[in-house]
Amino acid sequence: MKKYIIILLFLFIGTANAQDPALAENIWYFDNGVLDGEAFTLPGYLMAQLEFLPDYSNLGVKHPHCEESMAGTIDSIDMAGFSLVEASVILIGTCDPGEVELMEPHYRIYADYPNTITPFNPFTYNIETVDDYQQLTITNGNGDVAVYNSVPPLAVPAFSENIFAIYPNPTQDVLHITSKTTTVSHVSIYDIQGKLIQTIVGNPKEIDVSLLKNGLYLVKLQADGGTVFKKVVKE
């Protein structure tokens, strides 16, 4: 296959502030994401990764299976978030068109790929401990979400979003959560811009959402080593 390289660059400005050291201490393996309100995953063989350089000058969104990656220059970073001033795509030519199409939602968490490659600032992040590994959740300025684990996919128990039922949906006051095979340990509710609205620790069977404004929300459910997102409409 013909090899080619495309590099799209923007103004370079790099400054780094205090940040969570776990960001650069781990290779982060993609688990699942939400783009434009729709959940997505990637085939396991693509093994998508996210890496931060030790000096926090750059991050890399990588798909080692076919040697494709996106690099972003970090403008600023702290304990809650970061912003990018440069993004580039380098295609080595071993990816087939179908694989590139599968990778696109992952790239679009970070930039307007494949158009202007303008970063979707600002980004927020949160690192939580799940069982014996860590889980990183990144939310971009549009409210899109990517979830990563600090261990490869084969080391994480299989997890399906169908394992949960959330009802009624749409709802006006109370959300009920049921599962016959697992126990919820943590529930987070985000608005469509990615702002954390509510967190419940434990195993809630129902959640009072009566005080939420009407609209679309993302409910993040963590249980037994896995995480899924559910879309919920409040009326």
pLDDT digits (tens, 9 = 90+) for 87-120: 776 655 577 777 778 888 999 999 998 888 899 9
Question: Looking up tokens 């927020």, which residue turns up?
Answer: 124
Query: Residues 1-19: what's their mean pLDDT?
Result: 43
Distance CA 11, CA 89 (A): 15
Confidence of residue 6 (pLDDT cuts 50, 70, 90): very low
By percentage, how much of the chain surpasses pLDDT 70? 82
Distance CA 154, CA 52 (A): 22
Prediction pTM value: 0.65
The pLDDT score that the predictor gives to residue 46 is 72
- What is each CA distance from 167 to 37, 38, 209, in whole angstroms? 18, 18, 12
Confidence of residue 137 (pLDDT cuts 50, 70, 90): very high
- Report which of 49, 231, 8, 57 is spatially closest to residue 138, judged by C-alpha positions: 49
More confident residue, 204 or 18: 204
Can you spell out the DSSP letters for 24-51? HHSPEEEEEEEETTEEE---GGG--EEE
The pLDDT score that the predictor gives to residue 163 is 72
Asked whether the CA dihedral 105, 33, 163, 160 is positive or negative, the reply is positive
More confident residue, 208 or 223: 208
Can you spell out the DSSP letters for 68-91? EEEEEEEEEE-SSEEEEEEEEEE-
